[in-house]
Amino acid sequence: MKLTLKNILGAALLLLTATACTNSGSKKGGTIVRSTSPNVGVMACDASFQNIMQQEIDIFEYTTPGYSILPFYIDEAACVDSLMNGRANVAVISRPLNSTETKALKTKGRAPHTTRIAVDAVALIVNKDNPMNEITMSELKDILDGKFKTWRDIQPSPLGEIRVVFDHQSSSTVRFMKDSLLDGRDLGADVYAQGSNPAVFETVKNNKNALGVIGVSWIATNMSGADMTAEERAKNLDNEDITDMGFSSDIKVLRVRRDDSLDSYQPYQAYILDGKYPLHRSMYMVNTGLQGTAAKSFYVFVTGWRGQKVILTTGVLPSTVTPRVVELN
C-alpha cells in the first residue's frame, strides 16, 4: 500500500482509538489525548453508557465522512474533569453540569450546550439459579445499607451471603444508587467493584450469591446493531420495528416493586417510559465544540432523529423518539 499523509493520519487515529478502548472500563481510565483537529472530536463517556455511544459513533462516522470521534470510556467524575480541562470537547454523563462548572467553561470561552439524550434504567441481575424473581425498593435499600447480608434475610433461600457487584467505585451507577436509596451515604461493606460492566455480568453469571447492578443496555438482547457493519446499522434505522427487546438468557433480571405498589416491573422501555420501573436515570450529552467541528456535528447527530433511533435499539429510552408499545392478548 502506498503511504500517503491520509494513510498515516488514519493509522495514527486508529492507534489512539485502540488506546482509548483498551482503557475503557479500568478504574482510573487512560490519559485522554487532546485533539487539535476540528475533524476529530474527543468524547469522555461514562463507562456504563459505552454500549450505547459506541453504536452512535460507528453510525455517525459512516454517515459523516471526514469526521471522527475518539472515545474514552471512564468514570463520571473523570468525564467532567476531562471536559473542564479541555481534553475532551464532548461528555456523556448521568447529570447536567452544575452552575459552577458551566460558569467555569464559559469563562474559558467554551460555552457548553447540554441536552438530555436518553433515560437509562439500572437493572438488578442475579444468577439463574437464584430463586428470587422480584425485590422491593426497601429490600434493595437494606441490602445496600448492609442490613440484609444473606438471601435468607429477604425470603427462604438455599443461598448464602449476598455479594453486591457494581462496575467501579466512582461510576455514575454507584452515585445513582447512593443518592436514590441511601441519601448519599456510602454503600455497605459487602459491595464489590468488578472494574467493568462486562465483569459485573460475568460475576453474576458464575456466582449464585451475586446481585449485579448494571445499565440495562448491557443485558439487552436487542442490541441489534452490535454485530452489524456500520452500513447495515445505518440502513436498519429505517426499519420501523426495532423495539422488540429482551434480556440475556444467561442471567435473571429481577422485577422491582415500589413499596406502595402491588405490582413489580422489569426495565423494559415501556415501563421506563411510564415511570413504573423505579430505577431510572437520565443521560446527558454536553458539547463545547464549535460549529463546523466533529464534536458539534456529533452532538447534532445524537440529539437528532437518527441518533435517537440508535438509542432506541439499545434498550434505553431515547428522549425524543417514543418506542412503539405493542400489547399482546
Write out pLDDT tens, residues 269-326: 889 988 999 999 999 999 999 999 999 999 999 999 999 999 988 888 998 865 555 4
Write out pLDDT tens, residues 36-79: 688 999 999 999 999 899 999 999 999 999 999 999 999 999 99
DSSP, res 254: P
Rg, Å, the chain Cα set: 20
Alpha-carbon span 162 to 143, nearest angstrom: 8
C-beta of residue 250 within 8 angstroms of C-beta of residue 205: yes
Residue entry with cell 446499522: 233
Q: What is the mean pLDDT of the chain?
A: 83
pLDDT at site 133: 95
Q: Does 226 score more than 70 pLDDT?
A: no
User: What is the chain's length?
Assistant: 329
Q: Does 241 score more than 80 pLDDT?
A: no
Q: Does 86 score more than 70 pLDDT?
A: yes
pLDDT at site 227: 59
pLDDT at site 221: 64
What is the phi-psi region of residue 53: left when phi exceeds 0, alpha when psi lies from -120 to 50, beta otherwise?
alpha
pLDDT at site 266: 94
C-beta of residue 43 within 8 angstroms of C-beta of residue 69: yes
Q: Does 233 score more than 90 pLDDT?
A: no
Q: Once rounded to an integer, what is the mean pLDDT over residues 254-273?
A: 93
Residue entry with cell 445499607: 145
Q: Once rounded to an integer, what is the mean pLDDT over residues 74-86?
A: 94
Q: Once rounded to an integer, what is the mean pLDDT over residues 259-267?
A: 93
For the whole prediction, is pTM greater than 0.75?
yes
pLDDT at site 220: 81
Which of 194, 199, 207 lies closest to 129, judged by CA?
Answer: 207
pLDDT at site 27: 35
Write out pLDDT tens, residues 1-38: 343 444 433 434 433 433 333 333 333 345 676 666 88
Q: What is the dihedral of CA 88, 47, 221, 268, to 10 degrees?
A: -90
